[in-house]
């Protein structure tokens, strides 16, 4: 069998994926490169492969459960704090490796072979990765159980900057290597330990502590239909009002722990805010001239702490597909009133809409200490 496979240049990458899955199912161990470095990969349902990987760990390395993202992580953890959810939804896929305390195997973790459970929870911690790798994603879609990865080793720290080719010797413990293209990161993942409602950096990496601090901030998302009028005005006004309350610049809000955005349930991506909305807010010293509309997505819904809709219909439209969001989605109006869409109206309609939004934002601001 071929010991060196080129996924990147393959005519049909699906054939490579099927071949690799077959070999992992036979208990083989693979080496490949992901966004944060070089890893060895085995299938969780093959204990012998996981034992081989454990036996070849370098100093400071661990075995990690590879998940597709936040929702899959929920299948393996008894609970995830708001802080953990924010980090997972905002930093995955990518250069974040999480360490989560575990007492007993939970959820789908209990369905893994006992030796694999033990290896993954060494030191009473479960380590999780969600790589930014199309190849790994392709494998995850077809495998019935999770992959297990070794902690990524930055390319600069391994003897070769890419998996070997030709007749070169395979890395220790590996049966084959897959070439997925160059890895541009020289730092490896940032390893973060979750502690209930807190977190700490265990090992620095490609994500800085300052960036992670911003990603753990409380987020507000204003939602209307097209994201060109009502929700951009709410976003711009709230940024200004919140910055004034915190006595900082609007650009400093992420550092203060607040993220503010907007989206539309039926929005097209990339459209500017309406000229009337831009002009009205400029009169207030708020510039939304560079705003571009965006469609409300599952990722945005997962990432946001407070979802504020401009009408009841917007709220119901979201809850129809995501009833789990009941606790964090509400109308901007505390009285349950809809904010009418001024599109197609004159400047007076836009002014009335802005004033109404502003009055509700003042009440929202009172909730923030």
What pLDDT, on the 0 to 100 scale, is given for residue 78? 83
- CA–CA separation, 76 vs 141, rounded Å? 17
- CA–CA separation, 5 vs 175, rounded Å? 11
- CA–CA separation, 104 vs 77, rounded Å? 10
Residue 167 has pLDDT above 70, yes or no: no
Average pLDDT across the chain, whole number: 93
What pLDDT, on the 0 to 100 scale, is given for residue 36? 94
What pLDDT, on the 0 to 100 scale, is given for residue 106? 75
| Mean pLDDT within 248-276 | 96
The lowest-confidence range among 5-19, 20-34, 99-113, 262-276 is 99-113
Task: Tell me the per-residue pLDDT of 282-332, one tens digit each, with 9 for 90 and over.
Answer: 998 999 999 999 999 999 999 999 999 999 999 999 999 999 999 999 999
- CA–CA separation, 266 vs 50, rounded Å? 46
What pLDDT, on the 0 to 100 scale, is given for residue 155? 80
Task: Tell me the per-residue pLDDT of 178-223, one tens digit each, with 9 for 90 and over.
Answer: 999 888 778 899 999 998 889 999 999 999 999 999 999 999 999 9
What pLDDT, on the 0 to 100 scale, is given for residue 122? 86
Tokens for 68, please give them. 């597709």
| Mean pLDDT within 136-142 | 96
What pLDDT, on the 0 to 100 scale, is given for residue 168? 59
| Mean pLDDT within 241-250 | 97
Distances (CA, A) of 217 to 21, 48, 85, 92, 205: 39, 42, 11, 16, 20
pTM given for the model? 0.90
Query: What are the chain's domains?
Result: 4-206 (3.90.870.10), 217-366 (3.40.50.2300)
Residue 130 has pLDDT above 70, yes or no: yes
Please check whether residue 147 is in contact with residue 178, taking contact to mean a CB–CB distance below 8 angstroms: no
Radius of gyration of the chain (CA): 24
- CA–CA separation, 212 vs 200, rounded Å? 10
Buried/exposed 330-339: b ≥16 CB within 10 Å, e otherwise: ebbbeeeebb
Q: How many residues are recorded in the chain?
A: 369
Burial class (CB in 10 A: 0-12, 13-18, 19+), 18: middle
Catalytic annotation, residues = 224, 230, 341
Share of the chain above pLDDT 70, in %: 96
- CA–CA separation, 262 vs 272, rounded Å? 13
Task: Tell me the per-residue pLDDT of 21-38, one tens digit each, with 9 for 90 and over.
Answer: 999 999 999 999 999 999
For the chain, the maximum distance between any two Cα atoms, rounded to a whole number of angstroms, is 76
Confidence grade of residue 164 (pLDDT, cut at 50, 70, 90) = very low
- CA–CA separation, 328 vs 334, rounded Å? 14
What pLDDT, on the 0 to 100 scale, is given for residue 103? 78
Please check whether residue 89 is in contact with residue 302, taking contact to mean a CB–CB distance below 8 angstroms: yes
Task: Tell me the per-residue pLDDT of 55-114, one tens digit each, with 9 for 90 and over.
Answer: 999 888 999 999 999 999 999 988 889 999 999 999 999 999 999 988 777 788 899 999
């Amino acid at each position: 069998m071929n010991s060196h496979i080129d996924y990147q240049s393959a005519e049909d990458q699906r054939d490579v994926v099927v071949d690799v899955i077959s070999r992992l199912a036979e208990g083989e161990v693979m080496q490949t490169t992901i966004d944060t470095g070089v890893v060895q990969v085995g299938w969780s349902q093959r204990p012998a492969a996981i034992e081989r990987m454990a036996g070849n760990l370098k100093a400071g390395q661990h075995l990690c459960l590879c998940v597709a993202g936040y929702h899959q992580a929920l299948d393996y953890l008894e609970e995830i704090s708001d802080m953990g959810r924010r980090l997972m939804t905002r930093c995955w896929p990518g250069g974040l490796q999480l360490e989560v305390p575990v007492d007993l195997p939970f959820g789908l973790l209990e369905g893994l072979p006992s030796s694999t459970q033990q290896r993954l929870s060494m030191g009473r911690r479960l380590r999780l990765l969600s790589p930014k790798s199309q190849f790994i994603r392709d494998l995850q879609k077809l495998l019935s159980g999770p992959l297990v990865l070794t902690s990524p080793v930055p390319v600069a720290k391994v003897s070769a900057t890419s998996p070997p080719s030709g007749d070169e010797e395979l890395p220790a413990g590996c049966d084959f290597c897959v070439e997925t293209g160059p890895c541009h990161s020289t730092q490896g993942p940032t390893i973060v330990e979750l502690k209930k409602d807190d977190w700490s950096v265990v090992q620095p990496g490609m994500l800085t502590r300052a960036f992670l601090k911003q990603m753990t901030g409380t987020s507000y998302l204003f939602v209307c239909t097209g994201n060109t009028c009502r929700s951009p005005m709410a976003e711009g006004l709230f940024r200004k009002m919140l910055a004034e309350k915190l006595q900082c610049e609007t650009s400093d809000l992420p550092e203060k722990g607040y993220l503010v955005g907007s989206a539309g349930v039926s929005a097209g991506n990339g459209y500017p805010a309406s000229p009337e909305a831009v002009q009205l807010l400029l009169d207030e010293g708020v510039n939304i001239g560079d705003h571009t509309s965006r469609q409300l997505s599952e990722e945005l819904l997962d990432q946001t702490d407070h979802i504020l809709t401009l009408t009841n219909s917007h709220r119901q439209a979201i809850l129809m597909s995501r009833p789990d969001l009941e606790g964090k989605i509400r109308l901007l109006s505390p009285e349950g009133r809809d904010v009418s869409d001024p599109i197609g109206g004159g400047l007076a309609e836009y002014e009335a809409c802005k004033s109404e939004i502003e009055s509700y934002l003042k009440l929202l601001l009172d909730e923030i200490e």
